[in-house]
Structure 1
Amino acid sequence: MSRNGGKGLKMNSNSVVEEAVTGTINVVGSRTGSQPQVRFVAPGKGRFFDLFLALFVALLLMSNIAATKLIGLELPGVPGTGGSFFSLVFDGGAVMFPFTYILGDVLSEVYGFRGARRAVLAGFAVSILASILFYLVAIAPPGPGDVNHQAFQAIFGFVPRVVAASLAGYVVGQLLNALVLVKMKGRTGERFLWGRMIASTLVGELVDTVLFCTVAFAGVISGADFWNYVVTGYIYKCGLEIVMSPLSIQVIRLVKHGECSYLPVSDAVPVMSGSVEISDS
């Protein structure tokens, strides 16, 4: 029970209040009845949150720059025929970008939707600033003897479009990833972590990949090569999440163990919703 003007607001014993996209309410669970216990680190109490935030932003920035390079791989065909069996098209950002979703799962699982959203917005603030800086440097007049001016323009002049593609795809994809994971956790508690991670990634990466590829490379590649790029990127990112999931689960367990404030939400710092404090106690 909590107080607002001398009156208490008691939560329904079977209710689970999930944080909305606006972030005004965090996930609140009850331990009574059959409702699973829900745990998150209380807002502002995470020991490792800043570390994961820094890694998240760094990976995003590196991925946006590396995405300006398209890579094509020819898989070998039948021996003796001299032809290729299948070609793969992907961008350089695919090497590091999927790890942002793995970090996104860690942030969502341990710190809730609010923590994941904070990381997403911080990452894009840095990406936009970096894009503006690269653009201004690229259009600046070259100095005497600068033989790399055109190469610099060709590479970093493309970054603003990649950042715009990220804004269209990555923000939506990451927020969907976090929202699906948090909603599933509200129903399952600490159980089925692997299922939450995979399901949220499948949803988030699908939206992210389609939007990013369309905005970043529409008109640059087309036809079969474009769909090759989309399908290859989606399968690769989701496949990497599945392959890395055992390690991700171990990292999440270690972080949960190391976070002293990873508590049932009813025992954590009360969550504020407007002027009303909501808790089970």
Structure 2
Amino acid sequence: MKLPVSASIPAVAPSRVYDIIAIAFVSLLLLSNIAATKLIAFNIGDFSLVFDGGAILFPMTYVLGDVLAEVYGFAKARRAILLGFFYSILASVVFLLVAVAPPAAEYENQAAFEAVLGFVPRIVTASLAAYIVGQLLNSWILVFIKNKFGQKHLWARLMGSTVVGELADTLIFCTIAFYGVVSNQVLINYIAVGYIYKVAVEFLILPITYPTIHYVKKLEGVK
């Protein structure tokens, strides 16, 4: 006699908020890729701080990546990272197809569309290379430190993984995205400001990241 399906398959407690965090993670990545097509400069006397529009949201992907790795482990964090990788490629292909498609006679913004979103494939290429290295490094280091030293010193895991992950991410992204597009002086400025800014953002929002991780762990029944 066959067992009912419900009896033959062991019950697995579903994740309560993993999908929400993963969707937010991927959405922030896609938005950051589009915003990164614009370089922004704040002038302070004779000196300029140069960064891209993606810097507004992109640091939050590392915060969410920390939550995923800390709560769910490296395998599930990697799953979300790979989902972001796939949808970034899809977005790039869609923008390319739309850009090369013949515009309607009434559409007057073809040049503007190509100037902004036509640059997205290069941004996405840079983002994908930087993202897959930086995010995987970030998640792996966080989990490695946790396995090595236990649950204590969450701040050390969060900041240690960010310092390494963001360094790899920033160097790869800035070089691929804007080498040859801007001067070497601006590129160095861009890399330095971007890296310092991203690490500083994660440090400043640690008071939010801490309770968020503890709350998600409580929801998921994880210690």
Q: Which amino acid aligns with 2:107?
A: D
Question: 2:129 & 2:193 partners in 1: Cα distance?
Answer: 20
Counting strand residues as a fraction of each chain, which structure ranks higher? 1
- Segments of structure 2 that go 5 or more residues without pairing to the other structure are 1-11
The ranges of structure 1 where at least 4 consecutive aligned residues each deviate by more than 4 angstroms after the TM superposition are: none
Aligned residue number for residue 34 of structure 2: 65
**Amino acid of the structure 2 residue aligned with 1:126:** Y
Q: Could you tell me how far 1:258 is from its partner in structure 2?
A: 1.1
SS of the residue 1:207 aligns to: helix
Among residues 184, 206, 210, which one is paired with 1:223 in the alignment?
Answer: 184
Alpha-carbon distance change, 243 to 133 in structure 1, aligned in 2, over 3 angstroms: same
Bigger Rg over Cα:
1
Gap change, CA 1:44 and 1:150, over 3 Å in 2:
farther
Equivalent in the alignment of 2:6: none
TM-score of the superposition, structure 1-length normalised?
0.74
Tell me what 1:248 maps to.
209
Point out where structure 1 has 5 or more consecutive residues left out of the alignment: 1-42, 76-83, 264-281
Q: Superposition pairs for residues 26-65 of structure 1, below 5 Å?
A: 45-65=14-34
Q: Give the Cα separation in 1 of the matches to 2:211 and 2:197.
A: 22
Rounded Cα–Cα distance in structure 2 between residues aligned with 1:46 and 1:188:
26
- 8 Å contact 2:88–2:128 — kept in the other structure? no
- What residue is the counterpart of 2:58 in the other structure? 97
* Identity within the alignment, %: 54
**What is the TM-score of this pair, normalised by structure 2?**
0.92
Is residue 207 of structure 1 aligned with residue 207 of structure 2? no
Equivalent residues, number: 212
RMSD over aligned Cα atoms: 1.2
Q: Kindly provide the amino acid, as one letter, of the partner of residue 225 in structure 1.
A: V
Give the counterpart letter for 2:192 in structure 1. Answer: V
Q: Give the whole-Å Cα distance in 2 for the aligned partners of 1:156 and 1:253.
A: 39
Q: Which has the higher contact order (CA 8 A, sep 6+)?
A: 1
- Structure that is richer in helix per residue: 2
Contact conserved, 1:169 with 1:209, CA < 8 A, in 2?
A: yes
Cα distance per residue 1:122-151 (max 9 Å; x no partner): 011111111111110011111112111110
